[in-house]
Chain A
Amino acid sequence: MDTQKYALGPLLNEGLSAEDRDLFSDARPVPYEPYPVAVVEKFVNWVRANSLWLLAFGTGCGAVELNPLMTARFDAYRMGVQMRPTPRQSSVFIIGGYASVKTLKRIIRSYEQMQGPKFVVCLGICPINGGMYWDSYNTVNKFDEYLPVDLYITGCMPRPEVLMAGVLELKKKIMEGRADGANRYVENFDWYKANQKRVIKDWNMPDYNW
């Protein structure tokens, strides 16, 4: 991995006022390496795939499809899926439909507070190309430009069955070690940050929310 790329110095945190700047960390996130022993990495990937903790943050209209997932009809618990109310403990972020610019700011904050490895699943057509909101003044069209996405589930709205199929697909990806969105985010950090700051005009948080 190119080490020069990360020797870019601390984050500037320009969105914060001078007295606030001391209160926040200015360290850059670093990419993580897999475990050196392949068998261990494979086992840990299996464990990660079988314990998916969803962040209970409904970011759009698609969030209503998340709730039936945990009820008696679909019961995603049997696949190791649980809802966690705090980003610190969750590993899967489901973007439920369109992301307005106002929500995008909260999505970024929550995503950066999640501990790696973390996975982003986009639900519905809107995060792919804007869907019916493609010419709206306050939603982002290509979500992939702002956060790395590991899996898309398309449809408007996808039913919970499709969501469950997506969860199984995500499991497969994690087990194969292909769900490395968190690393992509760190490696292309400046590109993602520039895109985010382009749409979020009132950037009043640190550059990386540790």
Chain B
Amino acid sequence: MQDWPVRIGYFLINLTIVGLYGMLLSGIVARTLAKVQGRIGIPVYQPFIDLLKNLGKRTAVSHGAMFYLGPVFRLAGGIGTLAFVPVLYGSEMFSNFNSAGDLLLAMYFMFFGQLGMAIGAGESGHPFSAIGVARGLGQMTAYEVPFALAIIAIVVQYGSLSINDIVAAQQGGILNWTLFTNPLAVIAAMIAFLGMTGYSPFDVTMAPNEIPIGPPTEYHSSYLAMMTMNRAVFAGAKLILFMDLFFGGATNLVELVIKTWAIYMVAVVVGAAFPRFRVDQSIRFFLRYPTLIGIAAIGYTQAVLLP
């Protein structure tokens, strides 16, 4: 155990790397989707320019204290998720603040940002924000069910709530990954992941062209820049969490980039191929087959893997 200033320094390095990677990933994804539509698309560095532009805006108006705190909570949720997820397995520098039970903390932080954002967007007073928040929280509650069931299944399987222990148990060959030892849990969690990323068909929260852009309708200038930063960090943290839990973790940065990119591409390919669900369809979808698959995963773990 090293002293705290060093660990915090390491964490800031992690945060920078994951943030930059997340921003770059969003540029790559936008370009990929443009190719699907037969366009050239934005330059890959466009998200960075947009971020700087929003930071460089000269004016900003506020709608109250919670309006300020909404993006702050959101960013805290993103950073908090990353803080408890080991980025690289077996590396002192990239291990972050993981300890026993950090899986629960990471799950909590994933929820926390959304709730903070909901209160902040609610105070902006825009009707589309309120609609977007209601949709987002409804859908989040729905996809948390298969995700939580999948997590329960692998926690039972590995007998630990520490992400580091779960990664350690998957080392030593591709067949030790959760993907092959407990495929039902991975299927349930990956379907929940589609909902988390917010691409089609589960983009009812932002719903471009429908409720203009949902919760952040009133956010602008540096508020919006903060939310863009969070989107990058949070996307990176989620991808790393999924990689750690289901795809054997990573021992170096190249492996990390390849695996997280591949996981993200699942959501992008599905998003490019399917149109948007209606709200009721989206919520009911998660509560049907993914939930059943999640329950089956727990049963499979109990009946087959544990004895």
Q: Which of B55-63, B96-104, B231-239, B247-255 contacts A (4 or more CB under 8 A)?
A: B55-63
How many angstroms from the CA of A75 to the CA of B31 in the assembled complex? 12
| A residues 35-60 touching B (CB-CB < 8 Å) | 44, 47-48, 50-51
- Residue pair B218, A47 in contact (C-beta under 8 Å): no
How many angstroms from the CA of A84 to the CA of B209 in the assembled complex? 10
Among A44, A47, A85, A117, contact of B208 (Cβ-Cβ < 8 Å): A85
How many angstroms from the CA of A154 to the CA of B74 in the assembled complex? 45
State how many angstroms separate the Cβ of A29 from the closest Cβ of chain B. 8
State how many angstroms separate the Cβ of B68 from the closest Cβ of chain A. 15
**In the complex with contacts A89-B224, A210-B61, A75-B53 CB distance below 8 A:** no
Interface size of B by CB at 8 A reads 31
Q: Does A8 contact B (CB under 8 A)?
A: no
Among B30, B213, B219, contact of A85 (Cβ-Cβ < 8 Å): B213
- Residue pair A77, B42 in contact (C-beta under 8 Å): yes
Chain A, Cβ-Cβ closest to B211: A85
- Residue pair A85, B49 in contact (C-beta under 8 Å): no
State how many angstroms separate the Cβ of A40 from the closest Cβ of chain B. 9
Interface size of A by CB at 8 A reads 23
- Residue pair A51, B46 in contact (C-beta under 8 Å): yes
State how many angstroms separate the Cβ of A78 from the closest Cβ of chain B. 5
How many angstroms from the CA of A71 to the CA of B39 in the assembled complex? 7
**In the complex with contacts A78-B40, A88-B218, A88-B220, A115-B53 CB distance below 8 A:** no
Q: Does B198 contact A (CB under 8 A)?
A: no
Q: Does A138 contact B (CB under 8 A)?
A: no
Among B38, B41, B49, B58, contact of A77 (Cβ-Cβ < 8 Å): B41
- Of B41, B46, B56, B208, the most chain A CB neighbours within 10 A belong to B56
| A residues 88-106 touching B (CB-CB < 8 Å) | 88-89, 91
How many angstroms from the CA of A115 to the CA of B59 in the assembled complex? 6
Residues of the A chain whose Cβ atoms lie less than 8 Å from the Cβ of B58: 32, 115-117
Proximity bits, B13-34, A CB within 8 Å = 1, else 0: 0000000000000000010001
State how many angstroms separate the Cβ of A56 from the closest Cβ of chain B. 8
How many angstroms from the CA of A115 to the CA of B222 in the assembled complex? 11
Chain B, Cβ-Cβ closest to A88: B220
- Residue pair B220, A75 in contact (C-beta under 8 Å): no
Q: Does A80 contact B (CB under 8 A)?
A: yes
Q: Does B221 contact A (CB under 8 A)?
A: yes
How many angstroms from the CA of A89 to the CA of B51 in the assembled complex? 12
**In the complex with contacts A32-B59, A77-B34, A77-B41, A115-B220 CB distance below 8 A:** yes
Proximity bits, B214-231, A CB within 8 Å = 1, else 0: 001111110010000000
- Of B40, B41, B58, B224, the most chain A CB neighbours within 10 A belong to B58
Q: Does A7 contact B (CB under 8 A)?
A: no
Chain B, Cβ-Cβ closest to A83: B208
- Residue pair B42, A80 in contact (C-beta under 8 Å): yes
8 residue pairs A–B, Cβ–Cβ below 8 Å = A48-B53, A71-B39, A75-B34, A85-B208, A88-B217, A88-B218, A115-B60, A115-B220
State the 4 A-B residue pairs at the shortest beta-carbon distance, nearest first.
A85-B212, A51-B53, A88-B220, A72-B38
**A→B interface (CB under 8 Å):** 32, 44, 47-48, 50-51, 71-72, 75, 77-78, 80, 82, 84-86, 88-89, 91, 115-117, 210
Q: A44-B52, A44-B56 are in contact. List 9 more A-B contacts (CB 8 A).
A: A50-B49, A51-B50, A72-B38, A80-B46, A86-B213, A88-B218, A89-B220, A115-B220, A117-B58
